[in-house]
Chain A
Amino acid sequence: MSAKTAAGTVKERAELALNDDFLRKAVKFTTERLRNGKKNASAEHGNWDEWRERGRQIRLHTIAHLDYYLNQFVNNARANGVHVHFADTGADAVKIALEIARRKQAKTVVKSKSMVSEELHLNDALQEIGVEAIETDLGEYIIQLAGETPSHIVIPAIHKNRYQIADLLSEVAGEKLEADTTVLAGFVRKKLRENFLEADIGMTGCNFAIAETGSMVLFENEGNARMVTTLPKTQITLMGMERIIPSFEDLEVMATLLPRSATGQKLTMYMSAITGPRRSEDADGPDEMHIIIVDNGRSLQLGDPEFQELLNCIRCGACLNACPVYRHIGGHAYGGTYSGPIGAVLTPALNKNVAEWDDIANASSLCGACYEACPVKIPLHEMLIYLRRRKVEKGYGNKLEGAGMKGFAAVMGNAKRYRMAVKMGQIGQKLVVRDGGIRTKLGPLKGWNSYRVAPSLPKMSFRQRFATLDQEIREGLREMSPDVKSRMEEAIKRRKQDGGGHGHG
């Protein structure tokens, strides 16, 4: 994947985001709206965990037999008259798409939202050969005008306010447009209508591909994906190789999980299943239909027990909305095509370059909210730990942290050394303790003490007091009432019989 490496580290990009008051508020508002929508929709539907489990099982099964189902899909799509292409890399996919555009002598391509297309940076490539690529999803259109990338998987222009949007659109209109949502959306409708009717090629992503019939399925609310698959003479669909489900019957489960998880809707306003180009007697639909099946790092996850489940993702964005870190820093801070918890795992996984993207695995509190939100139960928080471990194993760990851990082990592993260290600390801290706490921001204390106060070491540590405590407990036991005492003794006996285990599970 040729992901654009955004400048700096996640921390630097996040600080940019944290300084942008509007962005922070907008992200918080939107994610909360979507999260609450999802909560209500899943509660209203009922048996949510059973549906999630069903979704997970269907995805697990399909991915475990991806070779069979993908092959079946391809053969059926071909039988429907689709031209199927395979792309190992993003560059291969771009090459195929450009070749089709050249062959068709295309001037304009209208696009509906596709995360794969974002992965490939296809718009830039089309522009280079003189083809205008127009994003037609309202949010995508806006950020394309602004020359930016999406900051949320479902609501890409979450970071723009309507005044900024009015300025952008006024430039296109050549007149001042009022910063009113209806006016702005109305302008885009009119403007893009012309584009839909004139464009040579319509380009889409693919939410699901049905193996048994060779159909591709799109979920959307605006109708632009329907425009793109109905009006231009040529349709190109970019499809991640893992988008497959076996049947329409299975689509009911995905259609139950995806819209509810993404926006809290029972179903998106449009759900379309396209099965091949237009039939010869039809008066609309594309004459020629291409599906480009893209690997671009996906197969690296196959056969990897820790990461194969990543391929189960249905791109709903629920993990973004649930993530406390995403809610604060927004999508751009992640620096890749995919943001939020899924991006933190997917970006390094697709790129197979842990070193370059390691820091986004740290942009998480490992609280597991992403897993709770995921409609197909991907254990993202665990994958983040695997990533961190791999990073250390590959020698990209923090050298200072490594040295510190070794020192810590040396001190903790020997009672004498530990005793010495605590004594030295108790004497040494007298220089820095004020009002029972340590406030200096010197050296390693800076990170902690910038926002908090480090507690001082107590005059007597637990170990130092232990002899006295031990004595007290023994005395105390003797005074215990006979029945309590016998119960405790009983418990100790049982524990010995059980071989010293903790007795749970």
Chain B
Amino acid sequence: MAETHADWLREMEAKSRAKQSAFVGGISQRLGRPRPTDAPAQPFRGAPEFWRGFEWTPEERIERFAGNWRSVGGHVARLPDMDAVREFIAGKAAEMGARYIVRQNEPELAALGLEEALPEAQVSVWNTDPDICWKARSAEADFGVVMADYAAAYTGSVAVLSSKDKGRSVSLLPTVLMIVLPVERLRTRLGEVLTEFDRAGRKRLPAGIHFISGPSRSSDIENDLTIGVHGPGVVYALIVG
């Protein structure tokens, strides 16, 4: 019997490695051939050929993205620059009476100067103080403010990637989510974003990649659509540029 939890994990690891060859070997046996050592050639990989060249103009991307986002109950604002973003968020915070705001620790958001624009509210910056429980801080927040890393117009989706400066909780726990999306990060197809992760490779992937396509929703009670079941119910995409 293992002494500490770490010992036990090591024990389980050894067991798992021993089991792996039998488990995978069993599959080879059922498939009726030895296990291939080289990567099998994929006859078809990814989307059909006719799809790969498909691209909208920047303006059409914005239009389609906004249309998709609105169709699922999300809100969209098209803003000329980051100053307008600050004004928009400050305006909404005043309108809704937001007191607690949590934002990602990103240079673009720091440059916004939300702290000065919202003297009434408490603005926290993700993971800047080791003594704070950042999950709880996000859970009590009225607004979460994040930058979109990528977006795909065809499905109306925004991708946010985690890091030490970018909490997964910030786009999940607050009541209202504000996503700042610079136009140059908006692509046409989902595949344009996904292939970035193949290109980056395992070692450079963050722990969490989250595609968000609108407010949290459910139709589990009598097929009646409910918004904001677990995640944010009010979601703004602020398209900048």
A68-B36 contact, Cβ under 8 Å, with A85-B12, A185-B229, A285-B208: yes
Q: Are B222 and A247 in contact (CB under 8 A)?
A: no
Selected contact of A270 from candidates B32, B191, B231, CB within 8 Å:
B231
Flag whether B72 is at the interface (Cβ < 8 A): yes
A222-B8 contact, Cβ under 8 Å, with A51-B48, A162-B224, A299-B26: no
Selected contact of B45 from candidates A64, A65, A250, CB within 8 Å:
A250
Flag whether A366 is at the interface (Cβ < 8 A): no
Q: Which residues of B contact A364 (CB under 8 A)?
A: none
Selected contact of B157 from candidates A47, A250, A267, A274, CB within 8 Å:
A267
Q: Which residues of A contact B57 (CB under 8 A)?
A: none
Q: Are A185 and B39 in contact (CB under 8 A)?
A: no
Q: Which residues of B contact A106 (CB under 8 A)?
A: none
Q: Which residue of A lies closest to B27 (CB)?
A: A67
Using an 8 Å CB-CB cutoff, how does the interface string of A63-107 with B read, 1 for contact, 0 for none? 011111011101010011001111010000000000100011000
- Docked CA distance A247–B196 (Å): 11
Selected contact of A61 from candidates B36, B40, B127, B198, CB within 8 Å:
B40
Q: Are A86 and B231 in contact (CB under 8 A)?
A: no
Flag whether B216 is at the interface (Cβ < 8 A): yes
Q: Which residue of B lies closest to A72 (CB)?
A: B39
Q: Are A68 and B40 in contact (CB under 8 A)?
A: yes
Flag whether A224 is at the interface (Cβ < 8 A): yes
Q: Which residue of A lies closest to B33 (CB)?
A: A67
Query: Residues of A within 8 Å of B, CB-based: how many?
Result: 104
Q: Which residues of A contact B136 (CB under 8 A)?
A: 197
Number of A-B pairs, beta carbon distance below 8 Å:
288
Q: Are A70 and B220 in contact (CB under 8 A)?
A: no
Flag whether A397 is at the interface (Cβ < 8 A): no
Q: Which residues of B contact A68 (CB under 8 A)?
A: 35-36, 39-40
Q: Are B164 and A279 in contact (CB under 8 A)?
A: yes
Selected contact of A252 from candidates B8, B20, B27, B189, CB within 8 Å:
B189
Using an 8 Å CB-CB cutoff, how does the interface string of B211-241 with A read, 1 for contact, 0 for none? 1111111111111101011111000000000
Q: Are B220 and A156 in contact (CB under 8 A)?
A: yes
Q: List 24 A-B contacts (CB under 8 A).
A: A50-B50, A66-B27, A71-B20, A84-B16, A86-B20, A138-B226, A139-B220, A184-B221, A188-B229, A221-B229, A223-B229, A223-B231, A224-B229, A227-B230, A256-B190, A263-B219, A265-B72, A267-B190, A268-B213, A273-B209, A285-B168, A285-B207, A303-B30, A303-B32
Residues on A close to B: CB < 8 A?
Answer: 26, 29-30, 33, 47, 50-51, 54, 57-58, 61, 64-68, 70-72, 74, 76, 79-80, 83-86, 88, 99, 103-104, 136-139, 142, 155-157, 160-162, 165, 181-182, 184-185, 188-189, 192-193, 196-197, 212-215, 221-224, 226-227, 229-231, 241, 246-253, 255-256, 263, 265-279, 281-285, 288, 293, 295, 299, 302-303
Residues on B close to A: CB < 8 A?
Answer: 5, 8-9, 12-13, 16, 19-20, 23-28, 30-32, 35-36, 39-40, 42-48, 50-51, 68, 72, 126-127, 134-136, 139, 154-157, 162-164, 167-169, 172, 189-191, 194-195, 197-198, 201-202, 205-224, 226, 228-232
